[in-house]
Amino acid sequence: MKLSEILTPDVIVAPLKSSNKKHAINELLDVLHEKELVKSREDALKDILTREKHLSTGMENGLAVPHAKSDSVDKLIIAFGFHREGIEFESLDGKPAHFIFLVMSPRDTSGPHIQALASISRFLKNDDVRQRLLEAPNKDDIYDILCEG
């Protein structure tokens, strides 16, 4: 699965205004809700935060992928947020998250959800990609870089 298949420019938030994990999740969820991709914002947030309590989705190399399955969505959806300074996300390597993907899919599906998580992880492992994202001057350039993955 390519990121260009599931990501659109209107669900990219760059820069994120939030300065902590919970606010960043809320900011990205707001974008998905405004685009009417989420039926119940409250239920979706509950599902995401429940997943986060179980195990933080802060990964390594500045990447965080909060995700959940929810009855609040009809299909796989994704939003991306960029924070130049980084946000504390309880990451595996202890470093702040700069690149935050919010991924949601219907509760009764597995394949696309897992494929999206794998695509994001695989693409953002590349040092050059992360550096280019950090240096990208605007949202359009960020989208173009993400569409390469």
Strand partners, 105: 69
Q: Residue 94's closest CA among 86, 82, 102?
A: 86
Q: How far apart are the first and last CA of the chain?
A: 9
| Cis before 112 (ω within 30) | no
Q: Report residue 24: phi and psi, to 5°.
A: -65, -45
> And the tokens for 26?
């809320």
Catalytic residue ranges? 67
Contacts of 129 (CB under 8 A, 6+ apart): 123, 145, 148, 149
